[in-house]
Chain A
Amino acid sequence: MIELISLISLIAIPLFVLIVLSIGTYKRLPTYDLFVEGGKEGLSMAISLLPHLLGMLVSISIFRSSGVLDYLIELIDPLLTAIHVPSEIVPLALTKPISGTAALAVTSDLLRSFGPDSFIGRLASTLQGSSDTTLYVITVYFGSVGIKKIGDALKVGLLTDLIGIITAITIITFLFG
């Protein structure tokens, strides 16, 4: 099953390009003109995206490099032990919604220190794989089209992240105990 899905992921993109170009050519479409037209749209999206992404990334990295996150974790550590949440996973849980690259760094650190086949390693792998970076998605998606009032998107996104963490701990405990 996994091999099949890997194979699909590998050939999906080239195959899709092949199909699109073949059908486009068969239908006598000006394929090259259309490609350039669509590509220009992509370029203007990237440009409008840049200040959003830069602003957000700078703010997040100020927060991260100040060390306030480590301090917070120390503060809530006794509480976590009381409700049986392994405190080693907290940095990942807190980083995941705000920074994808930081979360990846935390995950590889956990896998290196505890081993990928430990409980913490499995939990970290599941958490890392099962959700997207909420703040990044919101910044990029809304930023590219200039939406300023984002409604409930962030609230729902963060709430979902919390539920994802609880679900991951439950499922991994259940599967691997």
Chain B
Amino acid sequence: MVHFIWAGLAIIGIVFALFNGTISAVNEAIFSSANEAIQLVIGLTSILIFWLGIMKIAEKANILSALSRFFKPVVSKLFPDLPKDHPVMAYITSNFIANIFGLGNAATPLGLKAMKEMKQLENSEHASRSMVTFLVINTAGLTLIPTTVIALRIQYGSIAPTETVAGTIIVSTITTIVAIIIDRIFYLKKMRQKND
């Protein structure tokens, strides 16, 4: 699936550009976006190193396990395949908390660490059921405060920059719930096919 999307986007783009006369823009985009990717990873590297460093201390000081104990009933329902007392639970929980509070910089390293722990549990090239659930919840983007949007609205002179916050919370809550339901349906369908 990823192969088709990846190659497809580029193939469609280049073919279309040949007929559309935008090939010079495409040529420029190839190099500028490769450069942009490097910049992005450099930005990400600094927060990854800092956060995973701090979180390692938090893990050894048993702060993470205390945090996850509180949310365990919910998180273990969402991830029935994961061992209940494994540190991965704490990383998943703290990733969700960071996302909800709009701390994107903290959420990504925690999420990646959670993925690493899940990978070690399964040790396979295939995405596990828990990984898919985790990803889907992350892409749904549950949030309480859309900081970037509020900043943009202020910049363009909104008289009520925060008036879309309530709508955003409602929409992202609904999409998160829907994402969890769709994920379950897909999983159950797959299980049924396996059993037939």
- Find out whether the CB atom of A130 lies under 8 angstroms from the CB atom of B38: no
A134 touches B139 (CB 8 A): yes
In angstroms, how far is the closest chain B Cβ from the Cβ of A110?
A: 10
Given contacts A128-B149, A157-B136, A159-B182, contact A13 B37 (CB under 8 A): no
| A129 lies within 8 A of B49 (CB) | no
**What CA separation (Å) do A101 and B148 show in the bound complex?**
12
**Does B30 contact A137, Cβ atoms closer than 8 Å?**
no
Q: Does B78 contact A (CB under 8 A)?
A: no
With contacts A19-B63, A150-B1 known, is A49 near B103, CB below 8 A? no
User: Chain A: interface residue count, which band?
Assistant: 35 or more
Count A-B contacts at CB 8 Å.
350
B131 and A65 contact, CB distance less than 8 A: no
Report if A46-B41 is in contact (Cβ < 8 Å); known contacts: A13-B106, A61-B29, A66-B13.
yes
Assign chain B's interface to a size class.
Answer: 35 or more
A128 to B148 Cα, complex, angstroms: 9
In the bound complex, residues from chain B placing their C-beta under 8 Å from that of A152 are: 132, 183, 186-187, 190
State how many angstroms separate the Cβ of B11 from the closest Cβ of chain A. Answer: 9
* Complex A-B, nearest 8 residue pairs according to Cβ-Cβ distance, in ascending order: A38-B56, A129-B146, A42-B48, A132-B141, A61-B33, A116-B158, A54-B37, A35-B53
- For the complex with contacts A57-B36, A62-B26, A160-B182, 8 further pairs of A-B residues with Cβ separation under 8 Å are A20-B54, A65-B28, A115-B157, A135-B5, A141-B111, A145-B112, A160-B178, A172-B164
* Residues of chain A at the chain B interface (Cβ within 8 Å): 2, 5-6, 8-9, 12-13, 16-17, 19-21, 23-24, 27, 29, 31, 34-39, 41-43, 45-46, 49-50, 53-68, 71, 98, 101, 104, 107-108, 111-112, 115-117, 121-122, 125-135, 137-138, 140-142, 144-157, 159-161, 163-164, 167-168, 171-172, 175
